[in-house]
């Protein structure tokens, strides 16, 4: 989303940068959980007010993965406790939130609590937090009052070239939509194979799993989180011991398994974890191992859920 007015907002005084833009001043890269953090929140609120928007749309929500890049360790609940239910209903791409929730999400990101997302109003506004307390805000309006307010709070709003900012995002090309043809092919696969596994990537680094027969496809389609990434995999193997025996000597995998109560969950494992896997999967009814390496992941089908009007607005990469 290209907007005419884009700002980099930080606590870092430009006077303390060298000729390459690197900061050498006294400010730390973590949030103070206090006055400076409150200034970031007030600055965002000022830009929202100047832009004239009241609700914000969550974009590209993310939870911590195997590797995290925050300076501080994620906390339990990832900063989302009290904002969304435990199953994170409402925390997905395209979900709308009010300003208070948007500010709480911004606080969680500044603190490296674990959850991350962009907040946007299409064609009007965006805010996202990068590394080391760098906040980026774009607006359709010049936001002169917000700029002055931000400076009065002790922060430094620096204008950016909008085109350069957009290029820095390195967004993927549009992905195939989970349209009627996708669902027809999925139903055919499930019928011919007896069953398949549907992976519902509802946010980055988190999935829900569904074991489907051909007759299940219509019902599951209505229950998926909007704008999810979808992958279809061969069915789980009832011979869990065989799954473990067939793991290569080295590698990283996502182990997907069915509990005795029918729930399907997954966990990440590599070759160092192999000795623990038999005990961990002792109660598994079935399992499979999916490579963690992109060039070794070969789903039967892959697509992204479009919106109800058929338009694919999610910007995920499969």
The full DSSP string for 145-196 is HHHHHHHHTT-EEEEE-HHHHHHHH-PPPPPPB--HHHHHHHHHHHHHHS-E
State the pLDDT at residue 73. 84
User: What's the pLDDT at 225?
Assistant: 97
Quote the pLDDT of residue 92: 98
Per residue in 119-157, pLDDT (tens digit) is 999 999 999 999 999 999 999 999 999 999 999 999 999
Q: What is the pLDDT of residue 1?
A: 67
pLDDT classification of 283: cutoffs 50, 70, 90: very high
Structure tokens at 239: 């011979």
Place of tokens 């900063």: 79
Q: How would you label 287-303 residue by residue, b for 16+ Cβ within 10 Å and e otherwise?
A: bbbbebeeeeeebebbb
Is residue 19 located within the same domain as residue 155? yes
Selected residue with higher pLDDT from 169 and 74 = 74
**Residue 250 falls inside a structural domain:** yes
Residue 191 pLDDT more than 80? yes
Question: Does some domain include residue 175?
Answer: no
* 146 and 208 belong to one structural domain: no
Using the predicted structure, report yes or no on whether residue 98 has a pLDDT greater than 90. Answer: yes
Whether pLDDT at 168 is above 90: no
Q: Which residues, including other chains, have CB under 8 Å from residue 132's CB and lie 6 or more apart?
A: 29, 71
- Answer yes or no: do 31 and 164 share one domain: yes
In angstroms, rounded to a whole number, what is the distance separating the alpha carbons of residues 166 and 169? 6
This prediction's pTM? 0.93
Domain count, the chain: 2
Whether 61 is in a domain gets the answer: yes
pLDDT at 89 over 80: yes
Report the pLDDT value the prediction gives residue 27, as an integer from 0 to 100. 93
Domain of 241?
180-304
Note whether 136 and 206 are same-domain residues.
no
pLDDT band, very low/low/confident/very high, at 260 (cuts 50, 70, 90): very high
Last residue of a domain, one of 137, 169, 201: 169
Angle at 292 between CA 286 and CA 297, to 5 degrees: 80
174 within a domain of the structure (yes/no) = no
Question: Is the same domain home to 54 and 122?
Answer: yes
As a whole number of angstroms, the distance between CA 288 and CA 235 comes to 8
135 within 8 A of 9, measured Cβ to Cβ: yes
For residues 114 and 190, membership in a common domain is answered with no
**Is there a single domain that holds both residue 107 and residue 254?**
no
Contacts of residue 176, defined as CB under 8 A and 6 or more positions apart, other chains included, come to 182, 302, 303, 304, 318
**Do 42 and 122 fall into the same domain?**
yes
Helix or strand holding residue 165 (H, E): helix 162-169
pLDDT for residue 68:
66
pLDDT at 66 over 70: no
Q: Are residues 161 and 187 in the same domain?
A: no
Q: List beta partners, residue 281.
A: none
In this model, does residue 55 exceed pLDDT 70? yes
Of 147, 169, 191, the residue that ends a domain is: 169
pLDDT score of 118 more than 90? yes
Q: Is 144 domain-assigned?
A: yes
CA atoms of 318 and 228, how far apart (whole Å): 10
Of 189, 177, 146, 166, which is closest to residue 42 (Cα–Cα)?
146
Domain end marker among 169, 200, 225: 169
Residue 310 region by backbone torsions, left for phi larger than 0, else alpha for psi between -120 and 50, else beta: left
For residue 230, being part of any structural domain is answered with yes
pLDDT at 162: 82
Does residue 264 carry a pLDDT above 90?
yes
In Å, the largest CA–CA distance within the chain is 66
Q: Which residues pair with 229 in a beta bridge?
A: 201, 304
pLDDT at residue 2 in the model: 84
Residues 100 and 213 in one domain: no
Same-domain pairing of 220 and 157: no
Q: pLDDT above 70 covers what percent of the chain?
A: 98
Q: Are residues 162 and 47 located together in one domain of the fold?
A: yes
Instruction: Categorize the per-residue pLDDT at 174 as very low, low, confident or very high, splitting at 50, 70 and 90.
Output: confident
Residue with the two structure tokens 């055919």: 188
Instruction: Please report, rounded to a whole number, the percentage of residues in the chain having pLDDT higher than 90.
Output: 90
Q: Is the pLDDT of residue 272 over 70?
A: yes
Domain assignment of residue 159, yes or no: yes
**Average pLDDT of the chain to the nearest whole number:** 94
Considering the domain boundaries, does residue 25 fall inside one? Answer: yes
């Amino acid at each position: 989303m290209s907007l005419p007015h884009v700002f980099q907002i930080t606590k870092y005084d430009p006077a303390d940068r060298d000729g390459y833009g690197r900061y050498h001043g006294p400010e730390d890269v973590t949030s103070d959980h206090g006055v400076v953090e409150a200034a970031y929140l007030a600055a965002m609120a000022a830009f929202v007010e100047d832009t004239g928007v009241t609700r914000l749309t969550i974009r590209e929500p993310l939870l911590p993965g195997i590797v995290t890049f925050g300076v501080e360790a994620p906390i339990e609940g990832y900063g989302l406790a009290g904002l969304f239910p435990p199953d994170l209903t409402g925390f997905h791409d395209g979900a709308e939130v009010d300003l208070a929730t948007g500010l709480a999400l911004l606080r969680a990101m500044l603190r490296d609590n674990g959850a991350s997302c962009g907040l946007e109003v299409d064609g009007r506004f965006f805010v996202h937090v990068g590394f080391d307390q760098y906040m980026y805000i774009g607006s359709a309006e010049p936001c002169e009052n917000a700029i002055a307010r931000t400076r009065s709070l002790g922060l430094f709003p620096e204008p950016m070239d909008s085109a350069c900012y957009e290029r820095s995002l390195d967004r993927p090309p549009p992905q195939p939509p989970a349209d009627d043809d996708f669902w027809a092919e999925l139903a055919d696969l499930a019928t011919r194979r007896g069953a398949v596994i549907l992976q519902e990537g509802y946010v980055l680094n988190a999935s829900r799993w569904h074991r489907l027969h051909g007759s299940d496809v219509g019902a599951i389609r209505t229950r998926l989180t909007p704008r999810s990434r979808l992958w279809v995999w061969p069915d789980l193997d009832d011979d869990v011991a065989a799954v473990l025996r067939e793991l290569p000597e080295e590698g990283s995998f996502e182990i997907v398994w069915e509990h005795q109560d029918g729930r399907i969950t997954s966990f990440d494992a590599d070759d160092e974890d192999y000795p623990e896997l038999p005990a961990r999967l002792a109660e598994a009814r079935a399992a499979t191992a999916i490579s963690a390496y992109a060039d070794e992941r070969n789903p039967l089908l892959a697509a992204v859920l479009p919106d109800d009007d058929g338009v694919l607005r999610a910007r995920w990469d499969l």
